[in-house]
């Protein structure tokens, strides 16, 4: 966010970030895309041995799933696959990639240590030999390369491209399909392929070249439970003070999360903000009493002094917040400080 815009962040704007957004069109779009993915799965099942009408499903995740969507939120959907063989193929392929990378690193290090004279004498012969080895390896991979979840993603991508209008841009990223057409659809849609085991979702992390474990249902239950506890706390206080309960005190937890997401989007220019759910969830219930602006300021003061290394991720309680989201404590603390500055500079 530009420094000259900091003065615009006042109480009125904070309250506007917390206000409810009509998401009817968004949820209608989710249903339509769920139907589209079902139709694609049925068609693929006719010629793809890894796909059947019973082992592919879709599931909403992200801001709209947690009901913390703000104006710039994306629509995120998991493309969930239950296929042991497809998962084994994918894991095997990832392991092969790691081995090849390690082999290249060792070869580069060996070449670096070789003497200049030796490199001159044998460079031509070695280059020819390496070239032959690479060619043989490529041929072998082409012949034996297993079908993975990434190949499945590519097939879904082709179907989606053919289905969408010419006004829609569809991107095929290493770990997701993105449909971009705010004019036609109103939202940016991300479709992320993943394996599912009961309540465990395994999402391939293209940058880390490994799977990330997500417990989406557990996270949604945890947020809903804490939100209800806070609502109850506000109701009890209003009753004790003989003040009628006001609607603006409902869903305080979700409203504060929305505020942080809206501000972080403007600071970091990203919509990948699930870590905010965990960050605010780890704040004690006692600070969520009163109007939304006071609660927000109270949360900032708490987070500035809190030891966030102890915060757990609600998407995988076996990991800390920063481990699960692959963010450093410094990055999170810097964000909190920057958000705090937006308020204190007014």
Q: How many residues does the chain have?
A: 346
Structure token digits, residue 267: 């600071």
- State in words which class domain 21-214 has: alpha beta
DSSP 8-state class, residue 37: H
Q: What percent of the chain has pLDDT over 90?
A: 68
Number of C-beta neighbours around residue 130 at 10 A? 12
pLDDT for res 246: 45
Instruction: Note whether 164 and 185 are within 8 A (CB).
Output: no
pLDDT for res 102: 47
**Cα(18)–Cα(283) distance, rounded to whole angstroms?**
18
**Cα(267)–Cα(265) distance, rounded to whole angstroms?**
6
**Cα(62)–Cα(69) distance, rounded to whole angstroms?**
8
Task: Write down the mean pLDDT value for the chain.
Answer: 85
Q: What pLDDT digit, counting tens, does each position of 102-147 carry?
A: 455 545 555 555 554 444 444 454 554 555 555 665 555 555 689 9
**Cα(73)–Cα(190) distance, rounded to whole angstroms?**
11
Domain spans in the chain, listed from the N-terminal domain onward: 21-214, 217-344
Say if residue 333 is exposed, middle or buried (CB neighbours under 10 Å; 0-12, 13-18, 19+): middle
User: Mean pLDDT over residues 231-238, rounded?
Assistant: 81
User: Mean pLDDT over residues 18-43, rounded?
Assistant: 95
**Cα(301)–Cα(324) distance, rounded to whole angstroms?**
24
Q: What pLDDT digit, counting tens, does each position of 172-224 carry?
A: 999 999 999 877 788 999 999 999 998 999 998 877 888 999 999 999 999 99
């Amino acid at each position: 966010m530009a420094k000259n815009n900091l003065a615009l962040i006042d109480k009125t704007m904070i309250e506007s970030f917390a206000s409810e957004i009509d998401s009817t069109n968004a949820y209608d779009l989710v249903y339509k895309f769920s139907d589209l993915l079902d139709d694609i799965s049925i068609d693929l099942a006719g010629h793809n041995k890894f796909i059947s009408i019973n082992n592919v499903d879709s599931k909403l995740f992200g801001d709209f799933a947690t009901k913390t969507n703000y104006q710039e939120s994306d629509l995120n959907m998991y493309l969930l696959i239950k296929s042991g063989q497809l998962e084994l193929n994918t894991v095997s392929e990832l392991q092969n990639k790691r081995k090849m990378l390690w082999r290249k690193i060792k070869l580069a290090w060996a070449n670096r240590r070789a003497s200049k004279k030796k490199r001159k004498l044998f460079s031509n012969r070695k280059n020819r030999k390496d070239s032959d080895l690479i060619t043989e390896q490529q041929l072998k991979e082409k012949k034996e390369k297993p079908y993975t979840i990434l190949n499945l993603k590519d097939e879904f991508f082709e179907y989606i491209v053919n289905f969408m209008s010419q006004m829609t841009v569809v991107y095929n990223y290493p770990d997701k399909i993105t449909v971009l057409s705010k004019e036609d659809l109103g939202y940016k849609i991300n479709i992320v392929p993943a394996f599912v085991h009961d309540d465990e979702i395994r999402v391939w992390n293209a940058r880390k070249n490994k799977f990330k474990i997500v417990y989406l249902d557990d996270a949604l239950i945890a947020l809903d439970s804490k939100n209800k506890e806070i609502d109850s706390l506000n109701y009890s206080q209003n009753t004790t003070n003989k003040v009628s309960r006001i609607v603006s005190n409902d869903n305080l937890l979700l409203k504060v999360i929305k505020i942080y997401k809206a501000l972080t989007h403007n600071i970091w220019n990203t919509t990948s903000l699930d870590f905010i759910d965990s960050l605010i969830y780890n704040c004690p219930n006692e600070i969520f009493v009163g109007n939304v602006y006071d609660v927000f300021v109270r949360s900032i003061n708490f987070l500035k002094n809190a030891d966030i290394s102890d915060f757990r991720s609600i998407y995988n309680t076996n990991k800390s917040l920063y481990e699960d989201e692959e963010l450093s404590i410094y990055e999170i603390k810097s964000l909190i400080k920057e958000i705090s500055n937006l308020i204190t500079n007014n």
